[in-house]
Structure 1
Amino acid sequence: MTAYRRISVAVLAVLLTSVTGCVPLPESAGPNTSTAATASPNDVVTRSVTDVERFWTARYPEVSRGAAFKPVQGGLHPYTETDLPPACGDEQGVYQPNAFYCPAGDFIAWDAQTLIPQLQQQFGPLLVGVVLAHEYGHAVQTRLGVSDQPTVVLEQQADCFAGAWMADVLAGRSQAFTGVTPAQLDNTVAGLLLLRDQPGTPAQAAQAHGNAFDRIRALQDGVEKGVATCAAYRAGNVPVTEVPFTSREDAATGGDLPYAEAVTSLADDAQGYWSRAYPELAGKPWPTLPVRPFTGTPPSCTAPDPAAGGAAFYCKAGDFVTFDNGRLGPQLHQNIGDNAVGMLLGDLFARAAQDRRGRSTSDRTGQLAVDCLAGSWTNDQLNRQPGQGLTLSPGDLDEAVAALLAFGRAAEESGPSAFERIASYRNGVLQGLGACT
């Protein structure tokens, strides 16, 4: 955050560049399984491409005025340091831990030495499928003749096309990926967090792909709305939230406030937001909500309403919120950034708003409402002018998504997955309080 701005952090890998579409090498992730989990990386790629071609054979006529789909004519090219990819037009093949579509040669190439094996090992085969579906999305753009858009729009359109394919997988029409679980979806989202632009990258940059918030939004657009929505992506209708840093000081800190200042400033800002928003939501004033961070033993509370795995909660009986200030808060700030702390406080204040107006927070619907309400606070920050309170810095939305992923990873049980929670938060961010009512 900035003192009149926002909250931020830079924890993820810098994107590597490629000819058109690209993905970078990740740093870490959790385990994942699927139908293809025991297959070799090359087999997963082959199955993925075959399945993506099956999908486009069926769906391409919907967006091409009935024209039939034609697979890439230049072939599929795995490459390594000793077996380089083909040249793409005037660009000679070089080794990068990458994947790309070459429009000049109408082929798809990928790093079979490092990138794909590590994506599969760290995030699971479904992410490998999404990467190949994304690159095939660029081939579809070429076939549709829509490649004259800014790079960031084309990249998010390819993400959207990948999401439309993933919806087909989730609907049970894929032979390559069956029985996908919420946990596998969440692992895929975790991988996408690393496949984003460095915070501060302007959306107008020549190789801009989008921040994680925008890329996940585009993927979810495809999942929820299908190929027609994706095909209509243009510069004027894609909500790009990626912005550059506005000062050298902001860039030097990654947009992050010091931890103690972040806690105080964010809590005060949430208090101010809900004093304005709660009367609209509930038709009555917002009583000041005490924030009582703890170290060691949490404050006593009968039947607390927990968040973040129980290390934070809203106490309805005492009407206060609290969180672990010895470990949870500092670790969120250090490992993700100041807006991860903001996401924690956003959850707690939204939980209090739900409880105070007599609505559930414990079931699936209630949790998704909490996430949307937290997003409505972010929407308020996103639309402020300098001097009107905390505003968002580059990386802040990605930090919020990373925090939601940490709080809400699916455990194969009940309740919404992080994938669903991020979608609900996104609705609040993009549409404001009205989306949550």
Structure 2
Amino acid sequence: MRLDDEAESQNVEDRRGGGGGFGGPGTIGIGTIIVALAASYFFGIDPRLIMQGAQVMQGSGNVPHQQAPAHAPANDPLTVFTRKVLGSTERTWERVFETDLGRRYEPPTLVLFSNVTPTACGTGQSAMGPFYCPGDRKVYIDLSFYNELRQRFGASGDFAQAYVIAHEVGHHVQNLLGVSDKVDAARRRMGEAQANQLSVRMELQADCLAGVWAANAQKINQKLIEPGDFEDGLRAAAAIGDDRLQKQAQGYVVPEAFTHGTSEQRVRWLRQGLTTGDMRRCDTFAAKQL
């Protein structure tokens, strides 16, 4: 990716270097963390799906009042890269919302943190991977995940990293469009297996929306996407399919426990967004075959 011409987003909150730890009310027990870790080998996680039943505020929606001390914005390469990719998503979705929906896009805030941080969805853990919290409309990421993406999942390249951010922003788009609330309401009426199937459709749609961003961002800045970038993204999507991760972790696959989709499904829906650039082609909920 060539990000030289991309302006950095100003909607970034840097909580790193502020300690980050806190105890007492509002923290999640070790048992819940273990369950979260088992379910979160890959990014694109909605915290409500893995911390449901153990929400910090028990539905209050409040965040513990603990602020990291203010400090100058970091200008290391990964931080600048992240701000530029977020800026690209903002400009792209602003245009898509105005053109296709006739409405204003409201960008999320991206929070940089280390180890642990309070969120409106509960306690955010680095081990969960990047995630989006609808309660405060923020994307959370520990930038050390980029190393894990490369070393553990074998997904290298700038576009693979950008895909991480774009997928979470895709969840924000779902939230703005009311999809998140509808899925949550439906999941509460279902058994676990059915709820998981609905979660898969939610995650695959976010993959497709990540592709829509890339396709439209390329139209805005034709120098942004370089040869091989899309292939990097598709390899990343394949690397974090439920089937592949379960096979690696436990040696066998449990389809009814899938929450994000198979490698094949994730690749298919990311490619759908990349090739069409049309968010209307991302209706995974109406698709007969994922």
TM-score (norm 2): 0.61
2:265 is aligned with what amino acid?
Answer: D
Q: Which residue of 2 aligns with 1:137?
A: 170
Residues 123 and 187, structure 1, Cα contact 8 Å, conserved in 2? yes
1:359: which partner in 2?
none
Q: Pick closer, same or farther for the CA change 1:21–1:162 going to 2, 3 Å.
A: farther
Deviation track 1:61-108 (CA, whole Å, cap 9, x = no partner) reads 3453x1211112xx2111212xx233233x222231511110011100
Kindly indicate whether residue 146 of structure 2 is the aligned counterpart of residue 116 of structure 1.
Answer: yes
Alignment of 1:400-419 (within 5 A): none
8 A Cα contact 1:20 1:101, kept in partner: no
Say which SS state the counterpart of residue 213 (structure 1) adopts: helix
Match of 2:89 in 1: 52
Question: Which residue does the alignment assign to 1:188?
Answer: 233
Give the number of equivalent residue pairs: 199
> Unpaired segments of 5 or more residues in structure 1?
1-12, 23-38, 241-437
Contact 2:212/2:279 (CA < 8 Å) preserved in 1? no
Partner of 2:276: 225
User: Where in structure 2 are the equivalents of 1:2-401 lying within 5 Å?
Assistant: 14-15=41-42, 18-19=46-47, 40-64=77-101, 66-72=102-108, 75-81=109-115, 84-89=116-121, 91-96=122-127, 98-112=129-143, 114-119=144-149, 123-147=156-180, 148-149=182-183, 150-171=198-219, 173-174=220-221, 178-181=224-227, 183-199=228-244, 200-202=253-255, 205=257, 208-234=259-285, 236-237=286-287, 239-240=289-290
Looking at structure 2, the residues matched to 78 and 201 of structure 1 have their Cα atoms a distance apart, in angstroms, of 33
**8 Å Cα contact 1:77/1:110 also seen in 2:** yes
For 2:147 and 2:221, the matched residues in 1 are separated by 22
Per-residue deviation, 1:174: 3.1
Identity %: 25
Label 1:219 to 1:162 Cα distance change in 2 as closer, same or farther (>3 A). same
Q: Which runs of 4+ in 1 moved over 4 A?
A: none
RMSD: 2.8
Structure 2 spans left out of the alignment, 5+ residues: 1-39, 51-75, 184-197, 245-252
Specify the structure having the higher radius of gyration (Cα): 1
Instruction: Give the superposition deviation at 1:21.
Output: 8.7
Q: Residues of 2 paired with 1:120 and 1:43: CA distance?
A: 19
1:143 corresponds to which letter in structure 2?
L
Contact between 2:120 and 2:135, CA under 8 Å: does it hold in 1?
yes
Q: Kindly tell me: are residues 104 and 14 of structure 1, through their superposed partners in 2, closer, same or farther at Cα, counting changes over 3 Å? A: closer
